[in-house]
Amino acid sequence: MRRNAVKRLLALLATCATALGLTALTAPQATAATGCKVDYTVASQWQGGFQAGVKVTNLGDPVTGWKLTFTLPDAGQKVVQGWNATWSQSGSAVTAVGVDWNRTLATGATADLGLTGSFTGANPAPTAFALNGVPCTGSVDGTTPPDPGEPGDGTPVEVNGQLHVCGVNLCNQYNRPIQLRGMSTHGIQWFSQCYDNASVDALAEDWKSDLLRVAMYVQEDGYETDPAGFTSRVNSLVDMAEARGMYSIIDFHTLTPGDPNHNLGRAKTFFASVAARNAGKKNVIYEIANEPNGVSWSGIKNYAEQVIPVIRAADPDAVVIVGTRGWSSLGVSDGSSESEIVNNPVNATNIMYAFHFYAASHKDNYRAAVSRAASQLPLFVSEFGTVSATGDGAVDRASTTAWLDLLDRLKIGYANWTYSDAPEGSAAFRPGTCGGGDYSSSGVLTESGALLKSRISTPDSFPTS
C-alpha cells in the first residue's frame, strides 16, 4: 500500500491553565541558542478551559539544556498541567524546561510540548516565545528557516514505527501525536469469511485504513471453546495486517459476563502467548477487556494491573488499551464520569483508556465527557457504531459526523464496528458480500460503510519531524 501524504504544518497540543504559584525554573547547563521557531495551536476549547500545543524547532546550533519562555497576554490565563517538559508560571510568564530525554536539541530538531489550561476572560495566543533567551522569530540571523519537509510516504507502520503514549496522545517514532483510523472485525467465530486476503487488501489499499481491530470473543462460542485455534487465528490476522503496513489491535472481546475478572486466567494465558509471539512486531496494540459492564472501576483496575505485567514481561514496548466502566463509556453509561479514572488511574505506563459509543444512542453528554477527559487521559475509541447501541437501526449521520469531527480535533484514534456483512445497520457491507472479492464499490457498501470509507480514506499526513 502506498500513502501519499499531504504537506501540512502540524502543531501539537498545548494550553495555558492554572499554575499554583510556582516559581520559574532555570535550564541546567544550557548552551546558547542562535535561532528558533515556535508553532502554537489550540487543539480544543471548552467553557473556561482549553488544550493547546507548542512545537519548538531549533534552527541554530545544537542546544544542550533548554528553557522555553513565553507570555500569556490575558491575566485570567493560567497553566494547569503540562507534559514533555517541566512547567511553571509566575504572573503572566510561563517557563518550560526540557526533561532528560529531550533536553538536547540538534539543529533542525523539535520538541513537542503539551498543556491544559484555564481562562476567565479572553484566550489569546501567547507571545514573546524565546529559547534560552533568544527570541523565536523563525529564522537565524535573518536567514530562511529550513523546510520541515514532507510528511512521510509509505504505509502507516512504515511511517510511524513503534507507537507509544506521550502525555495524553498516541505518538509515533518521531514523538509526534498521531490519529489512527480504521475498522474492527465482527466476531471472528461468526464472520471468518470476511477476513481473507481480498478483504484485507481492500481495507489497506482502497479504504486506506491505518488499522484492523481483531475482535476475539472470549465467550459466545469464542476463545474458551478452542484457545489454541482462536489464538492462531488472531496471530494470522495480525500477520495479514502487518504485511499490508497496518496496525492491529488484539481485542480480548469480553462482553458477557461483564466482569473481566471472570476471565482473568484465560486473559493471562492468552496475552502471555500472543505477546511472546508478536513482541518483535511494531504494529501490535493490546486491548485487554472490550466492554466491562456490571463491575466497578476498582474491579477493572485490579484486572488490568494483573494482566498488563503479563504482556510487559514479553512485549515491554507495546501500547495497551484498558476498558472502562459502563461498556467502556468512561463510566458515563453507569451514571459516573471520567473522574473515577483520573483520581484512581491504572498503575502502569504506556496505556490508553477505551471509550466506545454508538452515535444514535450516545450524544452530547457523552461527547462532553470525552472533551473533558481528553485533556487528562490518553483515550482510544476502539469501537463505535453509526447506529444505536444495539448495533442495528438507522445510521445517524449528524451524530456520527459530530463524533468524528470531535475525534479528529482531539487526535483520538478509532475503529468502526464493523468490517463485516452482518445483517445489521452497523455493518459496512451488504449481506452476502464477504467471500465475493469486492469490498469497496458502492454496490456492496451499506450507508454506514460508505460513510466510514469516505472518512477513513482521506490522507493521514502523519508527521515525521
Active-site positions? 291, 383
Strand bridging mode 93-97 / 86-90: antiparallel
Provide the total of helices (H) and of strands (E) in the chain, helices listed first. 10, 21
Contact 83/114 with Cβ under 8 angstroms? yes
Residue the block writes with cell 468502526: 416
Question: In this structure, what C-alpha cell is assigned to residue 186?
Answer: 465482527
CA 248 to chain centre: 13
Q: CA quadruple 233, 436, 213, 6: dihedral positive or negative? A: positive
Q: What distances in angstroms separate CA 264 from CA 223, 271, 363, 413, 450, one per listed residue?
A: 13, 10, 33, 27, 38
User: Element (H or E) spanning 35, and its range?
Assistant: none
SS3 342: helix
Q: Rounded to the nearest 10 degrees, how much is the dihedral formed by the CA atoms of 155, 159, 165, 168?
A: -90
Beta strands per DSSP E along 136-269: 164-166, 169-171, 181-184, 211-217, 247-253
DSSP state of 126: P
Q: How far apart (Å, rounded) are the C-alpha atoms in residues 320 and 318?
A: 6
Question: In this structure, what C-alpha cell is assigned to residue 32?
Answer: 546558547
Contact 48/77 with Cβ under 8 angstroms? no
Contact 256/292 with Cβ under 8 angstroms? no
SS3 265: helix
CA 68 to chain centre: 27
Q: Which of 28, 124, 24, 20 is nearest to 81 (CA)?
A: 20
Q: How far apart (Å, rounded) are the C-alpha atoms in residues 204 and 207?
A: 6
Residue the block writes with cell 452476502: 432
Task: List, in sequence order, the alpha helices (H) in 174-219.
Answer: 197-205
Amino acid at 378: P
Contact 193/163 with Cβ under 8 angstroms? no
CA angle at 410 for the pair 406 and 411, rounded to the nearest 5°: 110
Contact 355/168 with Cβ under 8 angstroms? no
